């Protein structure tokens, strides 16, 4: 079954241009908080040239994906809802999943649930584990789900963006862009709050797909601990430290992001050849 967009989700298919041994392999890319599917444009170009079919999508409530019923600004999706969306996007077609930041957190939940037949391997890059004691619970992570009001959530989204891109760059954005980003505040706040209050927390030890957990060489300590925790908890997890990048690897160093997907593909290929050899 091909990737299918759940109701309200804007999904984009990118055809492979190169040729991979054994045929094309699909990659589903999952963006982080306050991001968009199109932020993977440079990674997708590299992967498509190498023979990967790629699927990108705006997560529910971001850019072109709408808060269709039962969701709304008053009832934004939780991290579990995002994980369910991802499972539907993947379907049962074998797919390598690349999750950047919070997108990787969502993918870890999907993998731990064990209900997505199509996920064949997972790559995460600096993905938060907000339910863990070592992850500092500030901002929306410290709030109970549903606790923050719409106006406060919009202010929170603005402060989040100002930290990510800088106050001066934020101020130079067109007014309609700033309004759209602020309107995504309830989605941002709810996904963060729900992630830090998962009860029970996900059983990461139940993940049975190959996992590559990556971070930048100068990643903050909590990301270092998150990668170490995944390595110690998920059977067979492989860790990669990426030089010359920051948190936005898909933007700053897309070739490094593509190389992580290639590594996952090689691990799958070696496993398949070993099973038939």
pLDDT in tens, the chain (277 residues): 456 788 899 999 999 998 888 776 999 999 999 999 999 999 999 999 999 999 999 999 999 999 999 999 999 999 999 999 999 999 999 999 999 999 999 999 999 999 899 999 999 999 999 999 999 777 778 888 888 888 899 999 999 999 999 999 999 999 999 999 999 999 999 999 999 999 999 999 999 999 999 999 999 999 999 999 999 999 999 999 999 999 999 999 999 999 999 999 999 988 776 665 5
pLDDT of residue 277: 53
CA 96 distance to own-chain centroid:
12
Stated pTM of the model: 0.95
pLDDT of residue 2: 57
Strands (DSSP E) found in 51-118 = 52-57, 95-100
Given strand 25-30, what is the order of strands in its sheet? 11-14, 52-57, 25-30, 95-100, 119-125, 211-216, 238-242
> Which residues, in sequence order, are bridge partners of residue 262?
none
The answer to the question of residue 190 being in a domain is no
The answer to the question of residue 218 being in a domain is yes
The answer to the question of residue 81 being in a domain is yes
The answer to the question of residue 23 being in a domain is yes
pLDDT of residue 1: 45
The CATH number linked to 129 is 3.40.50.1820
Count the Cβ atoms, other than its own, within 10 Å of residue 171.
9
State which residues form the domain around 264.
11-133+201-276
The answer to the question of residue 249 being in a domain is yes
For the chain, the average pLDDT equals 93
Contact 106, 35 (CB under 8 A): no
pLDDT of residue 275: 63
The answer to the question of residue 3 being in a domain is no
Q: ω into residue 200 within 30 of 0, thus cis?
A: yes
Count of domains forming the chain: 1
């Amino acid at each position: 079954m091909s990737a299918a967009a759940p109701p309200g989700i804007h999904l984009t298919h990118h055809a492979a241009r190169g040729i991979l041994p054994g045929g094309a392999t699909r990659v589903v890319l999952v963006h982080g908080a306050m991001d968009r599917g199109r932020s993977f444009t440079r990674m997708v170009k590299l992967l498509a040239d190498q023979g990967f079919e790629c699927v990108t999508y705006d997560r529910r409530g971001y850019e072109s994906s709408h808060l269709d019923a039962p969701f709304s600004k008053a009832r934004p999706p939780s991290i579990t809802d995002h994980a369910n969306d991802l499972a539907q996007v993947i379907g049962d077609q074998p797919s390598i999943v690349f999750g950047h930041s919070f997108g990787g957190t969502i993918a870890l939940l999907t993998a731990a649930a064990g209900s997505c037949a199509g996920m064949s391997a997972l790559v995460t890059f600096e993905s938060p584990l907000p339910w863990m004691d070592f992850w500092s619970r500030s901002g929306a992570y410290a709030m109970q789900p549903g606790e923050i009001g719409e106006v406060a959530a919009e202010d929170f989204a603005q402060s989040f963006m100002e930290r990510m891109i800088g106050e001066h760059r934020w101020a130079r954005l067109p007014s309609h862009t700033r309004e759209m980003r602020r309107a995504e505040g309830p989605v941002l706040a709810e996904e963060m709050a729900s992630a830090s209050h998962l009860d029970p927390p996900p059983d990461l030890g139940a993940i049975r797909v190959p996992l590559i957990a990556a971070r930048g060489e100068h990643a903050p300590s909590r990301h270092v601990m998150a990668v170490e925790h995944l390595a110690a908890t998920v059977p067979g997890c492989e860790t990669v430290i990426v030089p010359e990048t920051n948190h936005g690897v898909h933007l700053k160093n897309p070739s490094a992001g593509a190389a992580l997907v290639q590594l996952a593909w090689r691990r799958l290929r070696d496993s398949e050849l070993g099973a038939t050899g």
